[in-house]
Chains A and B, each alone.
Chain A
Amino acid sequence: MAIEVDVLKRVPVREQEPKVRATNFEEVCLGYNKEEAEAEATRCLNCNNPQCQKGCPVAIDIPAFIQEVKVGNIEGAYQIISKSSALPAVCGRVCPQESQCEGKCIRGFKGDPVSIGKLERYVADTARQMGIKPNGATEKRNHKVAVIGSGPSGLTAAGDLAKMGYDVTIFEALHEAGGVLVYGIPEFRLPKDAVVKKEIENVKSLGVKIETDVVIGRSVTIDSLMKDEGFDAVFIGSGAGLPRFMHIPGEQAMGVFSANEFLTRSNLMKAFREDSTTPIMHPKKAVIVGGGNVAMDAARTALRLGAEVHVVYRRSEEELPARKEEVEHAKQEGIIFDLLTNPVEILADENGWVKGCRCIRMELGEPDESGRRSPVEVAGSEFDIECDCVIMSLGTSPNPLISSTTEGLEINRRKCIVAEEGNGQTSKKGVFAGGDAVTGAATVILAMGAGRAAAQGIDEYLKSLD
């Protein structure tokens, strides 16, 4: 049955009902089917000078793949995307398209932009069901490259290098590959077995080896990988996984968690399942501190574990750093937003358990140099929110373990690795870096862009050795 298309409006995507999904961990967005995808694809103007492609950090040839979708050629569409992206099923789901490809779509000037993300996801999901794999290397190149970290930047760099013919090994500290894709982003946004594992298998199918349970800086150092294990180049994509706390009174009370801990327990260790051996607190009423995507993920996870959830954020709704779609989803599910509010103390009962969160009202002051209005406390406006759990989601910074154990690797004052923008070259010869380890916490797709640039940089460097 053909779908009638209003060129000004997106073909809507099917989603689980808010009331239903608030009680399960299954994916919220159900994605397009064939008819919907082909109908949406007809909205693409196939521009000569496609702005959307410029908005994509890995520069996918968007109009070209959409033309293939329009005529039902999934294999063709998939191979076009996979020339530029190693993780299309992931990016189609978690990219902030509104500020990237879709933000630049000509259709968006008058009406809705083309749903590029949902189309990319449709292609990747369908290709997976059809058993289509990315094309591998045509020639072998005689160099070994080590990739530190199996998150988005590492997987992208590894995939690109393998396609160039290099012998690539990824070293991952956790027991499962994927980085933030497996421990951070919840199942209801990004299914692990059905999507993440399969995308990682695709990277492996290019010949990439993955060694889990290796903590670089502890199990082995970068210097010894290069000196003793024969790696000619190294890419550091170790991310920014060190959680920040507020350093306010009561923060060590039982029931206070970093979002990283709460999400790792739930996502990586599957603690949301009844049969999991890893425990997780099932809060009755939880306060999530922060307003980013991680805060939304923690809030919606706590909700699904049975809690009434308050997101406490010190600025106003306009400044929420989380994606609009995530904030909307959270609201639909019943998350309460306490804006212009900041915790000053965590209150504990006589047994050391959280019993409340003392907050203060904020107002926005004058814009600072960056143009952002900074929040200022309103004197005497303290009030208590009764709760049994507080989850700190204040951002993360790079773990210093790698930089402190690698000789001659320069870092900046934020503990981020210093690397050249175009090619990821660090201060150490043969060592490249990219993703959150260089920029501090950012997005999946930016990390992938950095991984891709570094793969180019590594290729040039290795060619110079030959």
Chain B
Amino acid sequence: MFKILERNVLAANIYQMVVEAPRVAAGCLPGQFLIVRVDNEGERIPLTICDYDREKGTVEIVVQSIGAETNQIAKMQTGDCFADIVGPLGNPSDLVKEDLEELKKKKIVFIAGGVGTAPVYPQAKWLKEHGVTADVIIGAKNKDLVILEERFKSVSNLYITTDDGSYGRSGMVTKCLQDLVDEGHQYDLCIAIGPMIMMKFVCKLTKELGIPTVVSMNTIMVDGTGMCGACRLTVGDEVKFACVDGPEFDGHLVDFDQAMNRMKLYATEEGRLRLAQEEGKTHHGGCGVCS
């Protein structure tokens, strides 16, 4: 059993939890994820790792409640236990394998959208610990949905942009990136993590700007260990399994339209309606599930 030691509400429907998971904490690196199961009746769902503490044997997860399973997680309190936490899964980010001297020469920009902000944090933090301060763009619908601001400030140069202009800069993350480039910033590498539609448009822009771009693909998964292929996607001319070959891929080679389409596999009419209702005017199908 994997016990919740701490629980905080970061924003409406976004929860942060520190969970006891010694084996995951001992081995995990930035870029990896885990799979959780709430109880013995539960579905296996992939979640990102926001932080970890090897000494204490804990990992920090951030989860947005959007369906049956995540709603159940949202209700869990300090002291409650997950039936299963499996990980770390997936490949660590290429950054952690790169030659440090080479890495230090690079200008890196992270682009984080929505709950995808959480998995960017361990990467930015790892870089900071190794002497590299990256730029980070956080995009959110509005002021209330900006998460982890203070923690990002301590490990990066932070730019915040909101769709409605209620906080920080105004507009989508792509506008923010274009503005930064127009203001004279030069980047050797962009790492984008967020809704597929965001990653797709970031890649479109960075291709024009000539910035190599890495994306983290949040596909449907079951086992997360390479045995089923539910998470398969097309990268270049090849079929890849996001759980074992990724989750990070060259964003300029990913077939986003196909990947977004596959997210609809188990979407129900009911779920789409509910999302549209909850999100009102800000509903833009960004998750790729409902569009």
Task: Tell me, yes or no, whether B94 is within 8 Å of chain A by CB.
Answer: no
Task: Tell me, yes or no, whether A212 is within 8 Å of chain B by CB.
Answer: yes
Task: Tell me, yes or no, whether B80 is within 8 Å of chain A by CB.
Answer: no
Of A242-250, A314-322, A333-341, A362-370, which binds chain B? Answer: A242-250
Of B145-153, B157-165, B232-240, B277-285, which binds chain A? Answer: B232-240
Task: Tell me, yes or no, whether B26 is within 8 Å of chain A by CB.
Answer: yes
Task: Tell me, yes or no, whether A138 is within 8 Å of chain B by CB.
Answer: no
In the complex, chain B residues whose CB is within 8 Å of the CB of A276: 41
Within B47-104, the residues touching A (CB, 8 Å) are 68-69, 83-89
In the complex, chain B residues whose CB is within 8 Å of the CB of A243: 227-229
Task: Tell me, yes or no, whether B44 is within 8 Å of chain A by CB.
Answer: yes
In the complex, chain A residues whose CB is within 8 Å of the CB of B261: 254, 351-352
In the complex, chain B residues whose CB is within 8 Å of the CB of A49: none
> Of B27, B223, B266, which one neighbours A220 at CB under 8 angstroms?
B27
> Of B84, B85, B226, B228, which one neighbours A401 at CB under 8 angstroms?
B226
Given contacts A174-B223, A257-B230, A269-B222, 11 further A-B contacts (CB under 8 A): A175-B83, A215-B86, A220-B23, A220-B26, A241-B226, A245-B229, A258-B228, A275-B41, A278-B44, A281-B265, A281-B266
In the complex, chain A residues whose CB is within 8 Å of the CB of B85: 213
In the bound assembly, the distance between CA atoms of A351 and B90 in angstroms comes to 30
Interface residues of A (CB under 8 A from B): 173-175, 183, 212-215, 218-220, 241-243, 245, 247, 251-252, 254, 257-258, 260-261, 264-265, 269, 275-279, 281, 351-352, 396, 399, 401
Task: Tell me, yes or no, whether B131 is within 8 Å of chain A by CB.
Answer: no
Q: Chain A's nearest CB lies how many Å from the CB of B112? A: 24
In the bound assembly, the distance between CA atoms of A269 and B232 in angstroms comes to 20
Identify whether the interface residues of A are mostly helix, strand, loop, or mixed.
Answer: loop
In the bound assembly, the distance between CA atoms of A115 and B226 in angstroms comes to 38
A260 and B227 contact, CB distance less than 8 A: yes
In the complex, chain B residues whose CB is within 8 Å of the CB of A254: 261-262, 264-265
Task: Tell me, yes or no, whether B169 is within 8 Å of chain A by CB.
Answer: no
Q: Chain A's nearest CB lies how many Å from the CB of B1? A: 10
| A-B residue pairs in contact (CB < 8 Å), sample of 6 | A173-B86, A218-B27, A219-B87, A245-B232, A258-B230, A275-B41
Interface residues of B (CB under 8 A from A): 23-24, 26-27, 32, 37, 41-44, 68-69, 83-89, 222-223, 225-230, 232-234, 239, 244, 258, 261-262, 264-266
Q: A-B pairs with CB below 8 Å: how many?
A: 107
In the bound assembly, the distance between CA atoms of A138 and B80 in angstroms comes to 41
* Known contacts A215-B225, A254-B262; is-contact A261 B84 (Cβ 8 Å): no
In the bound assembly, the distance between CA atoms of A27 and B248 in angstroms comes to 43
Identify whether the interface residues of B are mostly helix, strand, loop, or mixed.
Answer: mixed
Q: Chain A's nearest CB lies how many Å from the CB of B266? A: 4
In the bound assembly, the distance between CA atoms of A252 and B260 in angstroms comes to 12
> Of B32, B222, B229, B258, which one neighbours A265 at CB under 8 angstroms?
B222
In the complex, chain A residues whose CB is within 8 Å of the CB of B233: 252
> Of B24, B43, B88, B258, which one neighbours A269 at CB under 8 angstroms?
B43
B229 and A277 contact, CB distance less than 8 A: no
In the complex, chain A residues whose CB is within 8 Å of the CB of B244: 399, 401
Q: Chain A's nearest CB lies how many Å from the CB of B187? A: 31
In the complex, chain A residues whose CB is within 8 Å of the CB of B87: 215, 218-219
In the complex, chain A residues whose CB is within 8 Å of the CB of B265: 254, 281
B262 and A264 contact, CB distance less than 8 A: no
In the bound assembly, the distance between CA atoms of A174 and B229 in angstroms comes to 15
Q: Chain B's nearest CB lies how many Å from the CB of A456? A: 29
* Known contacts A218-B27, A219-B27, A279-B266; is-contact A242 B227 (Cβ 8 Å): yes
Q: Chain A's nearest CB lies how many Å from the CB of B212? A: 25
* Known contacts A264-B223, A401-B225; is-contact A175 B27 (Cβ 8 Å): no
B239 and A277 contact, CB distance less than 8 A: no
B86 and A277 contact, CB distance less than 8 A: no
Task: List the A residue with the shortest CB-CB distance to B41.
Answer: A277
In the bound assembly, the distance between CA atoms of A183 and B42 in angstroms comes to 15
Q: Chain B's nearest CB lies how many Å from the CB of A401? A: 7
